[in-house]
Structure 1
């Protein structure tokens, strides 16, 4: 075990060391991409109406709101010579997520599918939150942007591959028929592959990455002993909410509009674009078009991967202005969403999703890089978990009617108007970066 500790100066890590510690995010993103791209299709195949879709998704953000701060708090107070600090939570989340992913498309009723989504999202959150903290645990300040960008590169690969899986297996001859309210076999196979990839990628990170021990192990054990008990944990979390740094609150505004936009996409992009671009006339045509839209949506994962790769090269050699990079990326993504309204040929969706992918890459890296420079390293897990509030609150608002009410009020009844709403929201997120003035957070 390395004698480097969380509190001392940390050595610079190579690209491949950072890649190894981030590789588990490939599986996490397989879970999120399959969930985001195809859960609405599963709900529709079981008889849900389009207006019911956001409410059926509400369990996912509610779960994240509860799970991530708790997991962050617990991982801050965990240490095992064999397993480390964050890795036990990677493994627990991976086992539960893989089981949930496999069984989601076999749901026999709408309530069962919604329940599996709840279990799946809770399990993914158990694995995901400690990955954010691990980057801050392992990397020196000057490598934070680089580390989160490498993590984003892995996420982009996962998004691209997972989003296109149903389309790919359909082309291999797997049935895409959903007659009688049955989830297509192509989706079932895709989710099974996702479950396998989730487990393997997490295990790869667990066995290829070592964590640093606490700086003062005896003091850590005494603090852990003193902090025992559920009530103490709740008090600590609420204390963290009260004492969160100003830069974290300002980033919360950016996150609100960013995640409202992407939650809108996950809820409605497949449905909206299937109707708007392909205009299917029967269920067979609809399923084929939906799989094709999933393939086009994968472009945003490919684009985020390419954009992240570019940022990997830049951040490995130069400091960047995180604030303005994030602002420009979000505005470009917002314009990508708006352009979907004007798509007349299916291939044009590639262009729209390239722009969305640039925003996605930035959302998955820049806010965390800015935040990690402004919080107490000893409470990194808890604060990263609390930061998740600014991801799930906009999703809850969206699910409780924020999407349905707002897009109809501003743009009209057509489902494609949800993409206009997503675009406007993402542009607002971009300009909200102007309120961030903390130099330590901005430069890196």
Structure 2
């Protein structure tokens, strides 16, 4: 059991040992099993149920859209939650894990694309409910001089959990479980993997819930020397004009007009709808603040989004391009590897299913590399180069990894590409959060972490809505070029990371 504050007021949080660091982040091991099963297998599930490759981005829209809506809300609520012995963040860990495990249990029984898409929405929403407070939890529980170590341990668990989730179908196949399904069905390897993953997810999160005890809000305030929670960003909205939201609404209308004029993919309408929706939210939040209701959730979220600290804005730009590359990879790796490295684009073929299993192995490689790099490479580089330059270097390794997909044709050699991607993945999961946790006010750690993850979700929505139109227009039936897009966007992120001045740099 982690050491917690008894009743005495201390000037500084107690230092956590390795057992404490383990308990704080072990739940993320289970959460990442869920994400790994989703990322490596959902395109396969959709295609097995009859989806065409061009329709995959649209089916994936539910996941990032859910994260965009859920994470800021959960961050806002968890900053203000205190449920006695259950605490501040842990109620969300537990509730999200329970629903995610249920989604994984039912997913393999999907009778069609609509059911699978709805269950993907439920799974991603639940994983986001559990995941978002975990980011703030590290900042809550650790001293500032342990933030880098805390997020490194969390990243290691993410990597190990993703390896386990990615390898499930491959291992079951080699144990004799059927890897072939009738048309319109899902192989037993995927079915059993989802069931085992759901059990492991819930058990791991339950471990963290039972083995940790959170600091109460007044204890955190005493540790940090801060005043009780207040919302100056929301209060500042009262000085703004509600007409500012019209700019966002006009941008949304322009996107919708472009879709209609140039006959783009209908999914792009969603992008226009989101822009217009944010404009309406801005207008409503300003009116609430002017009416003296700055403490409302909408005013709080919009106010904090508009008032992000400068370092968070620069990190958000880097995250946007980093996660654009990752989402391209998750959607397209299975079709790319199947077509270019196993010689089949037919989801009903044995070669395609073999490629699907190999993609699981490749994903396990980059996640395994990330787990090792998080503990062994990142701290060493950060001490010598600083956090920001370390992040830029690691993103460059990822750029080279994506570029290798364009030149390698032996599927076994793709392991080299995954090593570079794994180093980038480790940094993406650790360095931005270590920088933020040491730079943001403790009382707003949940909402700022939630808003920061908007820039994880927005690029996924952009890829899901726009990439299909780009590929149809310029590279029909050639999914390999999606990897070139991924390499280019990650290179932009690497260059942008050099502009960040982390506190310890």
What's the counterpart of residue 395 of structure 1?
A: 460
Asked whether the 8 Å contact 1:7–1:214 carries over to 2, the reply is: no
RMSD over equivalenced CA pairs, Å: 2.5
| Aligned ranges 1:77-226 → 2 under 5 Å | 77-215=80-218
Secondary structure class of the residue paired with 2:179: coil
Deviation of 1:25 after TM superposition, in Å, equals 0.4
What's the counterpart of residue 296 of structure 1?
A: 362
What's the counterpart of residue 352 of structure 2?
A: 286
Q: Which runs of 5+ in 1 are unaligned?
A: none
Deviation of 1:420 after TM superposition, in Å, equals 1.4
Secondary structure class of the residue paired with 2:92: helix
Asked whether the 8 Å contact 2:337–2:411 carries over to 1, the reply is: no
Looking at structure 2, the residues matched to 418 and 274 of structure 1 have their Cα atoms a distance apart, in angstroms, of: 14
Deviation of 1:159 after TM superposition, in Å, equals 1.1
Asked whether the 8 Å contact 1:160–1:301 carries over to 2, the reply is: yes
Asked whether the 8 Å contact 1:62–1:392 carries over to 2, the reply is: yes
Asked whether the 8 Å contact 2:180–2:350 carries over to 1, the reply is: yes
Deviation of 1:81 after TM superposition, in Å, equals 3.2
1:308 aligns with 2:311: no
Give the structure-2-normalised TM-score.
0.81
What's the counterpart of residue 483 of structure 2?
A: 419
Looking at structure 2, the residues matched to 256 and 40 of structure 1 have their Cα atoms a distance apart, in angstroms, of: 22
> Which residue, out of 292, 300, 322, partners 1:258?
322
Looking at structure 1, the residues matched to 414 and 185 of structure 2 have their Cα atoms a distance apart, in angstroms, of: 28
- TM-aligned CA distance change 1:423 to 1:400, over 3 Å: same
Deviation of 1:285 after TM superposition, in Å, equals 2.2
Deviation of 1:84 after TM superposition, in Å, equals 1.4
What's the counterpart of residue 238 of structure 1?
A: 302
- TM-aligned CA distance change 1:312 to 1:20, over 3 Å: farther
- TM-aligned CA distance change 1:5 to 1:21, over 3 Å: farther
1:348 aligns with 2:351: no
What's the counterpart of residue 18 of structure 2?
A: 15
- TM-aligned CA distance change 1:335 to 1:292, over 3 Å: same
Looking at structure 2, the residues matched to 408 and 420 of structure 1 have their Cα atoms a distance apart, in angstroms, of: 15
Looking at structure 2, the residues matched to 144 and 218 of structure 1 have their Cα atoms a distance apart, in angstroms, of: 18
Looking at structure 1, the residues matched to 146 and 295 of structure 2 have their Cα atoms a distance apart, in angstroms, of: 36
What's the counterpart of residue 444 of structure 2?
A: 379
Deviations 1:375-429 (A, max 9, x none): 111010011011111111111111112x234456676751111111111111111
Greater shift, 230-239 or 192-201, is seen at 230-239
Looking at structure 2, the residues matched to 318 and 340 of structure 1 have their Cα atoms a distance apart, in angstroms, of: 32
Looking at structure 1, the residues matched to 469 and 488 of structure 2 have their Cα atoms a distance apart, in angstroms, of: 15
What's the counterpart of residue 326 of structure 1?
A: 391
Secondary structure class of the residue paired with 2:195: helix
Secondary structure class of the residue paired with 2:411: coil
Looking at structure 2, the residues matched to 138 and 345 of structure 1 have their Cα atoms a distance apart, in angstroms, of: 46
Higher relative contact order (CA 8 A, sep 6+): 1
1:24 aligns with 2:89: no
Looking at structure 2, the residues matched to 111 and 58 of structure 1 have their Cα atoms a distance apart, in angstroms, of: 13
Deviation of 1:5 after TM superposition, in Å, equals 9.2
Looking at structure 1, the residues matched to 9 and 417 of structure 2 have their Cα atoms a distance apart, in angstroms, of: 42
- TM-aligned CA distance change 1:206 to 1:289, over 3 Å: same
- TM-aligned CA distance change 1:267 to 1:8, over 3 Å: farther
- TM-aligned CA distance change 1:318 to 1:184, over 3 Å: same
Looking at structure 2, the residues matched to 259 and 89 of structure 1 have their Cα atoms a distance apart, in angstroms, of: 24
1:430 aligns with 2:494: yes
Bigger Rg over Cα: 2
